[in-house]
């Protein structure tokens, strides 16, 4: 997960509490933060999902704390990797893509179960979770996984 800050220093992956208007708080949002100047930005791969979520919460008049990995599959995979004590190397994008592919396979198995039991709600829920991941993975494949 490499990216350079405007100041020229390296940015690294972290997670942060984002406080939005009307008391909406979303915790464990993946961000890239500068090692030097304290600038940070929401990870571009989840940015539009986060904005959608904030908009939705505002519409529903929701307040309080949401854990982003609980509502976003990509953030969940990322957070799992980030907090994995067995992880020895620096987290990189290729590892993330591999983990996403594993999660996709798992979800496809689950989808099969949901289909067998003809559970439409469950199937829809899995479809949403799959979409976030396959979006991310297919974009990476086109751009040649940097």
Q: How far is the CB of 6 from Zn ion (least distance, A)?
A: 6
Identify which of residues 32 and 133 has a Cβ nearer to Zn ion in the complex.
Answer: 32
For residue 126, which of 109, 116, 139, 111 has the smallest C-alpha distance? Answer: 111
Give the CA dihedral 44, 53, 100, 84, nearest 10 degrees: 90
What sign does the dihedral 104-110-112-115 (CA atoms) show?
negative
Where on the chain is the footprint of Zn ion (CB under 5 A)? 5, 7, 9, 34, 36-37, 39
CA 80 to chain CA centroid, Å, is 10
d(C-alpha 80, C-alpha 87), whole Å: 10
63 phi and psi, to 5 degrees? -130, 175
Q: How far is the CB of 35 from Zn ion (least distance, A)?
A: 7
Contact between residue 69 and residue 29 where contact means Cβ atoms under 8 Å apart: no
Q: How far is the CB of 87 from Zn ion (least distance, A)?
A: 25
Q: How far is the CB of 94 from Zn ion (least distance, A)?
A: 25
């Amino acid at each position: 997960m490499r990216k350079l800050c405007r100041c020229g220093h390296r940015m690294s992956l972290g997670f942060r509490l984002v406080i939005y208007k009307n008391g909406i708080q979303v915790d464990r949002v993946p961000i890239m933060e500068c090692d030097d100047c304290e600038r940070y930005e929401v990870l571009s791969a989840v940015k539009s999902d986060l904005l959608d979520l904030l908009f939705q919460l505002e519409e529903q008049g929701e307040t309080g704390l949401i854990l982003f990995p609980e509502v976003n599959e990509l953030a969940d995979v990322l957070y799992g990797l980030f907090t994995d004590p067995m992880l020895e190397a620096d987290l990189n994008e290729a590892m993330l893509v591999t983990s996403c592919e594993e999660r996709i396979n798992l979800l496809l198995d689950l989808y099969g179960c949901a289909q067998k039991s003809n559970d439409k709600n469950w199937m829809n829920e899995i479809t949403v979770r799959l979409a976030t991941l396959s979006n991310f993975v297919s974009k990476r494949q086109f751009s040649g996984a940097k």
